[in-house]
Structure 1
Amino acid sequence: MTLTQRGTGIEIRGLRKAFGQVTAIDHLDLDIHPGEFLALLGPSGSGKSTVLMALAGFEPPTGGTIRIDGEDCTHVPPHRRNIGMVFQHYTLFPHMSVLDNVAFPLRMRGVAKEERRARAAAALETVRLGAFGDRLPKQLSGGQQQRVAIARAIVYNPRVLLMDEPLSALDKNLREEMQIEIKRLQESLGITVVFVTHDQGEALTMADRVAILQSGRLQQISPARELYERPANLFAAGFIGEMNQLNARYDGARAHFSDGTSLAVPQTALVAPVPPGPATLTIRPERVRPVAPGSGDLQGVVRDVIYSGAGTLIIAELPGGTEFRARISSAGIAPPAAGAPLGFALPPEGLLLYPAAA
């Protein structure tokens, strides 16, 4: 027996959720494509887990609608939505075998014993644990237990798989391995996955698109590369990865800094219309090129040099006290010493300009 899945589309319109005077989700509109892997990303309190619980049916919305595969599920109870869920804690039954743990949802649905065991065995094969059915959960590693939890979530062919920070309890190496495993499994099944995480690298690695939330509102939803290379606003720019942010005055062609220097800004750097006046010029540290003192676009003094294996982070201070970062390869390059003056070249293709934050 093999598991069959199909991608299901989700349409969220005007979704609201309030807990007393606190608004967790604020008029959210979101379309999730059939068979898509969507990551919900944001800081603590951004509303990402509340969105997931509303999709699952555990948090009734205050307003708005949720349609799954065209069906209005806004007030449909969880057990009638046919949705699979995987949580941070695996909640496997310690006294049951792995096979019986996976078969448990089918047992609750009244599936005959022979069929549920066959389907559970197929689910374990899907997550590459076919030989582990007779073991107890305590005899498995953390990564294996997580795969059992996934097998249990997909055994009844759910329309959508919801995952709430399922890898946060794993160590770094195992976590990275499981990211690849889950993405590979999702692609092979073609199932729609909504994945909540606070880990930016996890979201960028796994998701087809990433939705960034802040205070219950959608800030940007884009493929990972677009999100990283061209954040839609300053919040997204500051939240995803490292980003240098320089206060400036924009005259329509150049950014002028408080120390009297200025820099030509190509029109391609404008993410949205930026009127003349206060603005914020941004560039990723890996786009910055350290050069000899006195040359380049900016001048600074090195404050810290941090070696991290493949890369080295240079933290400098610009005139006026602004911190500025450059990230360079560690291979065969001698980094500058702390306290040394240093110039920085800012390639035009790495610049992004935003209206100044209100």
Structure 2
Amino acid sequence: MGEEAVRPVVGARISVRGLDKAFGTLKAVDDVSIDIAPGEFLALLGPSGSGKSTVLMMLAGFEVPTAGQILIDGQDCTRLLPQKRNIGMVFQHYSLFPHLSVFDNVAFPLKMRGIGRVERRRQAAAALEVVRLQGYGDRMPAQLSGGQRQRVALARAIVYKPRLLLMDEPLSALDKNLREEMQLEIKRLHSDLGITVVFVTHDQGEALTMADRIAILRGGRIQQISPARELYERPANLFAAGFIGEMNMIPVVWDGAKLALGQGDTMVPSASSFVGAPGQGPATLAIRPERLSVTAPEAPGALSARLEEVVYAGAGTLVIARLDDGTEIRARVASAALPSLSKGERIGLLCPPEAMLVYGERAAA
């Protein structure tokens, strides 16, 4: 069927070595090295200005690196023209031709490759079937919803059977429900086709949902490359810890045996809690809100705090409290397990030792 018509044999293997890109005195990408396995889905994640889109544009050939090397299936493509790389590309704003039908939009790359009209229509129909738009070929882009236009852009990107698909924030223009639907569609497409995907996003939830691995960038440099679960459960540094999901950042002092808080409480982490060398002195205790439970303020090992807010959200409730040193701390607990609480009362917040992460630096205020 249609999926067989566009299935690549195997996704491309990508190797990026020491990639730099400078725009005048601004270094947008700084010594980036990544190996991407055939058929892998890699997300490039980071805030605006982190260099993620610049890396993607260099992979596509639209930007030439200042230094470094890009290998696609072992071939040096560092300065190869974009049209000679056989790469599919999907942009944020679809870039469909408004005067062409859906069929003609999808078939356009094939026309540029000199493929005959009958074969173009056959392959375009197969690609539209893969993205579940069979029967839409004669419509114009203006007659489609945002999600349908994005599917047409996907079909156009895969119709000529590229082994690498690059996507630059393709879902950012969609509303929340449609965005979530398209996340699953792209994930399904990736699974069906076996194509290698590099996906740029600033949305952490999107990256966690879709990617096999995530590379976090900041200031043009890679902070961590890990599978989603590892990235969430053991961020490599405080930036990664604060960027992925919610995280309580509590200033502490490590004396070699216990963590001391400014208000006098102490906590004893497990040996595996330390990220990097557990040097004595100022440190940061990082705890995910969902790993905290609410208990009595005098409970052994609990952090004593004053309750500021309780936000009910159905099955879960957000508890916002403040430690005596002024640090805000948040807990997300099951509503059914939460005792009756009054604003201003003292509570205890308990965390299992294995859920604590200790970094030998202080988080920025």
Equivalences for residues 267-278 of structure 1 within 5 A: 267-278=271-282
Kept in 1: contact 2:28–2:54 (CA 8 A): yes
Q: When the two structures are superposed, what TM-score results if normalisation uses the length of structure 1?
A: 0.97
Distance 1:332 1:274 in 2: 35
Which residue of structure 1 aligns with residue 306 of structure 2?
301
Contact 1:253 1:266 in 2 (8 A): no
Report sequence identity in percent: 64
Does residue 345 (structure 1) correspond to residue 347 (structure 2)? The answer is no
Aligned counterpart for 2:6 among listed residues 3, 8, 31: 3
The answer to whether structure 1 residue 330 and structure 2 residue 338 are counterparts is: no
* Deviation sequence 1:274-314 (CA, Å, 0-9, x none): 11111111110000011123225211111122233442211
Indicate the larger mover: 40-49 or 105-114: 105-114
Question: Partner residue of 2:97?
Answer: 93
- Whether contact under 8 Å (2:269, 2:354) holds in the other structure is no
Q: Give the aligned residue type for 1:297.
A: A
1:41 is matched with which residue? 45
Amino acid at match of 2:164: V
CA distance in 2, matches of 1:293, 1:281: 19
Deviation of residue 335 (structure 1)? 5.5
1:145 corresponds in structure 2 to 149
* TM-aligned CA deviation for residue 270 of structure 1: 1.2
Question: Which residue pairs with 2:75 in the alignment?
Answer: 71
Conserved 8 A contact 1:243-1:282? yes
Secondary structure in structure 1 of the residue aligned to 2:138? coil
Residue of structure 2 in register with 1:61 after alignment: 65
| Aligned residue in 2 for 1:32 | 36
**Structure 1 pair 335–23 and aligned structure 2 pair: CA distance change class (3 A):** farther
Distance 2:39 2:279 in 1: 40
Aligned to 2:172: 168
Distance 1:232 1:261, change over 3 A: same
Q: 1:80 aligns with which of 65, 81, 84?
A: 84
In structure 2, give the amino acid aligned to 1:27: D
Aligned residue for 2:319?
Answer: 314
Report the alpha carbon displacement of residue 232 of structure 1 after superposing the two structures with TM: 0.8
Structure 1 distance, partners of 2:167, 2:315, is: 32
Aligned counterpart, 1:218: 222
Q: Secondary structure at the match of 1:132?
A: coil
1:310 and 1:109 map into 2 onto residues whose CA distance is: 54
Letter in 2 for 1:83: I
Q: Distance in 2 between matches of 1:225 and 1:192?
A: 20
Contact 2:20 2:31 in 1 (8 A): yes
Distance 1:209 1:89 in 2: 25
What displacement does 1:334 show? 5.4
Amino acid paired to 1:320: D
1:200-233 alpha-carbon deviations (Å, 9 max, x no partner): 0000000000000010111101110010011111
Which residue is equivalent to 2:138? 134
1:290 and 1:160 map into 2 onto residues whose CA distance is: 48
Change (3 A) 1:332 1:272: closer
Q: Which amino acid aligns with 1:4?
A: R
| Cα distance in 2 between the residues matched to 1:58 and 1:136 | 28
- What's the CA shift for 1:332? 6.9
Q: TM-score w.r.t. structure 2 length?
A: 0.95
Q: Is the 8 A contact 1:3 1:155 kept in 2?
A: yes
Flag the 1:135–1:334 CA change in 2: closer, same or farther, 3 A.
farther
Cα distance between partner residues in 2 of 1:17 and 1:307 = 47
Runs of 5+ unmatched residues, structure 1: none
Structure 1's 173 and 103: CA in aligned 2 closer, same or farther, altered over 3 A?
same
Q: How many residues align?
A: 358
Q: Which amino acid aligns with 1:212?
A: I
Is residue 297–residue 303 contact of structure 2 (8 Å, CA) maintained in 1?
Answer: no
Alpha-carbon distance, 1:331 to partner: 4.3
Q: Take 2:167 and 2:344, find their aligned partners in 1: how far apart are those partners?
A: 47
Q: CA deviation at 1:340?
A: 2.0
